[in-house]
């Protein structure tokens, strides 16, 4: 049976992990590859590197990161952030990235998904969606771009469906309301998107404790659960999370 | 020397690294002549069947592979590389299936999004799933690897059942996730992305190439 995935996310700026890392035993806690190797050894199912520099002159740093990752990791990894064109994506895939994650550029020009999926296969294209609940509108969420700065007017569930139709292989869904809150995933949002698309959905944003991971899968119906700081600060290990999920009847790869 | 066939279908680096750490002398080449000199051939790849096959035929790689496999040179197809081993592949709904390498009978088809009872499944099939290996498989490519071990998959199409099937995996349907005929092998998952178990499988293949 297909296992539900546990995915640590590394925010990278100028080639260094940001959001603080407090892992004991790392020689260089700011080196994304060293941290990812640690997660590889702990049997994380994948890792995602999100480049938050995202200015065009820094691209070479990220390409270099992807290239080092392919030489040193034994698990699949995704690189996200700052893709503007199919050429940007091609460069990253050529450097060895298994998947790329596109966000603002896909909203601006949805045909980017179609073209990229045709060129590299749907499995290589994640569409990342940052969504925020519309106040007073019940279960409705709006898509934001540019790292949450720009409201788009797009409905998150409708946009996820369109992305899937255009050839996205997975949806990486972040609740902006929950991100950093430690209150758990927005399971209503995750479930609404998971039911609307027939591709896997990765839940992101809000994990604060062990139970939240299982909630994302059971209540949110997510195919994979993502977190950053609870892992980076060593509050929870990948093993803790998988043991808890397994105890609740969720198939995981131990 | 093991040749990795380079036909611009991505992710050769991890395969190369995986084989090298298993002790293989690895060469990546697009050249048909290089394929003809190999002690072992690895055909990696993700993406579209028709595209890939067109490149393999144009460059003469396809015939070089067919000849080498017929001569008993060990071969390993990974993911799309496994699909290409079969007679043909259905690409999209329109048009006739595309002809494959024809090392094995049958047509590669799309994975259904529902099981026989109508339950919905996510396709692409992405993530870690278990492989149930047949007795024959357990003595070859999977030697020393625990039964029902997890491997990393990412695909929307599946190979047809047949005598060559030596490992199976369940999603919306139970499909062949590994195949073997003589010294030609295929795996649907990515051993190069599958942690220790994947490394062990690549090491088994490298050992087979040295037994000639």
Catalytic annotation on A40? no
More confident residue, B141 or A55: B141
Looking at per-residue pLDDT, the higher value among A1 and A162 belongs to A162
pLDDT tens column, A116-162: 998 888 889 999 999 999 999 889 999 999 888 899 999 999 999 99
B155: CB partners within 8 A, 6+ apart:
A123, B79, B80, B111, B124, B125, B188
Enumerate the active-site residues of B: 79, 190, 192
> Residues of chain B with pLDDT > 90: what percent?
84
Judge: B129–A1 Cβ closer than 8 Å, yes or no: yes
Average pLDDT, chain B: 93
Q: How far apart are the C-alpha atoms of B75 and A75, rounded to whole Å? A: 23
pLDDT bin (cut points 50, 70, 90) of residue A21 is: low
pLDDT > 70: percent of chain B: 97
CA quadruple A161, A162, A164, A167: dihedral, nearest 10: 170
Q: What are the domain boundaries of chain B?
A: 2-211
**The pairing of beta strand A150-155 with beta strand B157-158:** unpaired
- 């990546």: which residue's tokens? B28
The whole-angstrom separation of Cα B156 and Cα A5 is 18
Mean pLDDT of B159-171: 98
Structure confidence at residue A15 as a pLDDT band (50, 70, 90): confident
Rounded to whole angstroms, the Cα distance separating A209 from A225 reads 13
Q: Are A216 and A185 in contact (CB under 8 A)?
A: yes
Q: pLDDT tens across B76-92, in order?
A: 999 999 999 999 998 65
Select B2-211's CATH number: 3.40.30.10, 3.20.10.10, 3.40.50.880, 3.40.720.10: 3.40.50.880
Please indicate whether, in this complex, the C-beta atoms of A74 and B150 are within 8 angstroms of each other.
Answer: no
Rounded to a whole number, what is the distance in Å from the CA of B136 to chain A's nearest CA?
Answer: 22
Q: Is A96 in Cβ contact with B13 (below 8 Å)?
A: yes
Q: What residues of chain A lie within 8 A of the CB of B124, using their CB?
A: 122-123, 169-170, 199-200
What pLDDT was estimated at residue A28?
Answer: 66
Residue whose pair of structure tokens reads 């019940």 in the numeric block: A138
What's the pLDDT at A88? 92
Q: Is the pLDDT of residue B93 over 50?
A: no
Cα R_g (chain B), whole angstroms: 16
For residue B93 the two structure tokens come to: 């709904």
Closest residue of chain A to B47, computed from CA coordinates: A121
Contact state of A198 with B198 under an 8 Å Cβ cutoff: no
Q: For a pLDDT cut of 90, what percent of chain A falls above it?
A: 75
What pLDDT does residue B50 have?
87
What does DSSP assign to residue A74?
Answer: S
Whether residue B81 lies within 8 A of chain A, CB to CB, comes out as no
| Nearest chain B CA: its distance from A254 CA (Å) | 9
pTM metric for this prediction:
0.93
Contact predicate A242/A33, CB 8 Å: no
- Please give the Cα distance from A92 to A75 (Å, whole number): 17
- What is the full DSSP assignment across B41-80? EEE---S-HHHHHHHHHHHTHHHHHHHHHHTT--EEEETH
The answer, yes or no, to whether residue B47 has pLDDT greater than 50, is yes
d(CA A47, CA A96): 14
- Is A130 among the catalytic positions? yes
- Whether the predicted pLDDT of B133 surpasses 70: yes
Is residue B138 within 8 angstroms of chain A, CB to CB?
A: no
**Distance in Å, alpha carbon of B69 to nearest chain A alpha carbon:** 28
Band of the pLDDT at B199, cuts 50, 70, 90? Answer: very high
Query: Is A113 in contact with A166 (CB distance < 8 Å)?
Result: yes
| Stretch A228-252: mean pLDDT | 95
ipTM of the complex as predicted: 0.90
Q: What is the pLDDT of residue B92?
A: 58
């Amino acid at each position: 049976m297909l296992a539900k995935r546990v995915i640590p996310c590394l925010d990278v700026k100028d080639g260094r992990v940001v959001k603080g890392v407090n892992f004991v035993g790392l020689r260089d806690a700011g080196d994304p590859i060293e941290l990812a190797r640690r997660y590889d050894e702990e049997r994380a199912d994948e890792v995602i590197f999100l480049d938050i520099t995202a200015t065009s002159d820094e691209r070479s740093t990220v390409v270099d990161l992807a290239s080092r990752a392919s030489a040193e990791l034994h698990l699949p990894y995704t690189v996200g952030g700052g893709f503007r064109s199919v050429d940007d994506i091609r460069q990253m895939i050529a450097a060895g990235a298994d998947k790329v994650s596109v966000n603002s550029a896909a909203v601006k020009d949805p045909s980017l998904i179609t073209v990229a999926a045709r060129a590299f296969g749907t499995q290589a294209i994640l569409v990342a969606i940052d969504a925020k609940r519309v106040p007073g509108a019940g279960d409705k969420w709006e898509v934001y771009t540019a790292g949450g700065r720009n409201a788009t007017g797009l409905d998150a569930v409708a946009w996820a469906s369109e992305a899937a139709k255009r050839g996205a292989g997975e949806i990486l869904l972040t609740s902006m309301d929950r991100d950093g809150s430690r209150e758990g995933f927005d399971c209503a949002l995750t479930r609404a998107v998971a039911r609307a698309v027939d591709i896997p959905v990765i839940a992101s944003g809000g994990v604060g404790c062990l139970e939240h991971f299982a909630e994302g899968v059971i209540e949110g119906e997510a195919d994979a659960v993502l977190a950053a700081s609870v892992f980076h600060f060593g509050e929870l290990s990948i093993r803790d999370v998988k043991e808890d999920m397994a105890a609740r009847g969720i198939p995981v790869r131990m | 020397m093991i040749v990795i066939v380079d036909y611009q279908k991505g992710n050769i680096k991890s395969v190369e690294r995986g084989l090298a750490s298993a002790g293989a002398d690895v060469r990546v080449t697009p050249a048909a002549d290089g394929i003809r000199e190999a002690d072992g051939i690895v055909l990696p790849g993700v993406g579209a069947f028709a595209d890939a096959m067109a490149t393999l035929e144009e460059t003469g790689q396809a015939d070089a592979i067919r000849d080498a496999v017929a001569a008993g040179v060990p071969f390993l197809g990974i993911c799309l590389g496994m699909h290409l081993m079969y007679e043909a592949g259905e690409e999209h709904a329109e048009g006739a299936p595309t002809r494959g390498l024809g090392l094995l009978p049958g047509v590669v088809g799309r994975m259904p999004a529902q099981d026989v009872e109508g339950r919905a499944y996510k396709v692409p099939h992405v993530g870690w799933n278990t492989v149930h290996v047949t007795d024959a498989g357990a003595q070859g490519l999977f030697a020393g690897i625990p039964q029902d071990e997890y491997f990393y998959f990412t695909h929307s199409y599946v190979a047809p059942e047949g005598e060559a099937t030596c490992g199976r995996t369940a999603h919306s349907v139970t499909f062949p996730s590994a195949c073997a005929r003589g010294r030609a092998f295929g795996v649907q998952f990515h051993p190069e992305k599958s942690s220790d178990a994947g490394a062990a499988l690549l090491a088994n293949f490298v050992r087979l190439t040295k037994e000639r």
